[in-house]
């Protein structure tokens, strides 16, 4: 079964509150205190619903209510508590002195939620753009590395072909010179053969000794 309505709402005033109604409500609560909202309208002489009286007092007439724009610190508290407790506005209001749950709810729906959604979209775009830039940098680095590798391979092939051609050229020179390398030519005119004289002297001495033996 659902909750019973606070009143029949027949013949009751609706819409904005007048200054006289506000005064009657304030005087009654200051005299008898808060509570018993269902019986309060008849006791205070108001043609209003009990729920309407409670909301009028709690959100507008209660002493200590803070009016005006929310500060940056209050916004931070609301965002942090909403992330923890969700839409439990009465619980969030206990952490913000002078702010009502209804005012916090309206401020969240009108301003903070849209701000967070826009910030989230901007953060998503920034993250996406950052990933695209990182991918492009990696692709560029990969292309440079591949280009360097190809140039290195070409240099190795060129050096190998040049060395083989130089070897074949030197072989051709050897064959053309009758097996003698042109770079190994020996100049007999400038050579010093003095180191061979002792050998010739020994041979001459041995030959003379042999001839004497024959005699």
- 69-160: same fold as 10-63? yes
Q: Where are the domains of the chain?
A: 10-63, 69-160
Q: Is residue 121 very low, low, confident or very high in pLDDT (cuts 50, 70, 90)?
A: low
Mean pLDDT, to the nearest integer, of 168-185?
A: 52
Mean pLDDT is lowest, of 114-128, 155-169, 197-211, for 197-211
188: tokens are 């007999």
Mean pLDDT, to the nearest integer, of 143-149?
A: 83
The helix (H) or strand (E) run that includes residue 211 is: helix 197-214
Mean pLDDT, to the nearest integer, of 25-39?
A: 92
| Total-model pTM | 0.47
Give the CATH superfamily of 69-160: Homeodomain-like (1.10.10.60)
Distance from C-alpha of 106 to C-alpha of 111, rounded to nearest angstrom? 8
Distance from C-alpha of 48 to C-alpha of 8, rounded to nearest angstrom? 11
Checking if the pLDDT of 154 tops 60, the result is yes
Fold of 10-63: Arc Repressor Mutant, subunit A (1.10.10)
Distance from C-alpha of 90 to C-alpha of 201, rounded to nearest angstrom? 130
**Does residue 171 or residue 84 have the better pLDDT?**
84
**Does residue 127 or residue 152 have the better pLDDT?**
152
């Amino acid at each position: 079964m659902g909750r019973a309505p606070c009143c029949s709402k027949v013949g009751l005033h609706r819409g904005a509150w007048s200054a006289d109604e506000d005064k009657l409500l304030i005087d009654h609560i200051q005299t008898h205190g808060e509570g018993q909202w269902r019986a309060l309208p008849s006791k205070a002489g108001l043609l209003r619903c009990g729920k309407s009286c409670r909301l009028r007092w709690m959100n507008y007439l209660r002493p200590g209510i803070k009016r005006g724009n929310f500060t940056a610190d209050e916004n931070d508290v609301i965002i942090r508590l909403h992330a923890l407790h969700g839409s439990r506005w009465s619980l969030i209001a206990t952490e913000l002195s002078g702010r009502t749950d209804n005012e916090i709810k309206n401020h969240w729906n009108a301003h903070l939620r849209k701000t967070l959604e826009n910030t989230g979209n901007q953060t998503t775009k920034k993250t996406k753009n950052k990933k695209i830039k990182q991918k492009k940098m990696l692709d560029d680095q990969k292309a440079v590395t591949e280009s360097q590798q190809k140039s290195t391979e070409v240099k190795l092939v060129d050096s190998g072909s040049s060395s083989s051609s130089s070897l074949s050229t030197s072989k051709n020179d050897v064959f053309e010179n009758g097996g003698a390398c042109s770079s190994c030519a020996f100049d007999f005119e400038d050579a010093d053969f003095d180191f061979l004289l002792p050998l010739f002297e020994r041979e001459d001495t041995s030959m003379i000794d042999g001839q004497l033996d024959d005699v």
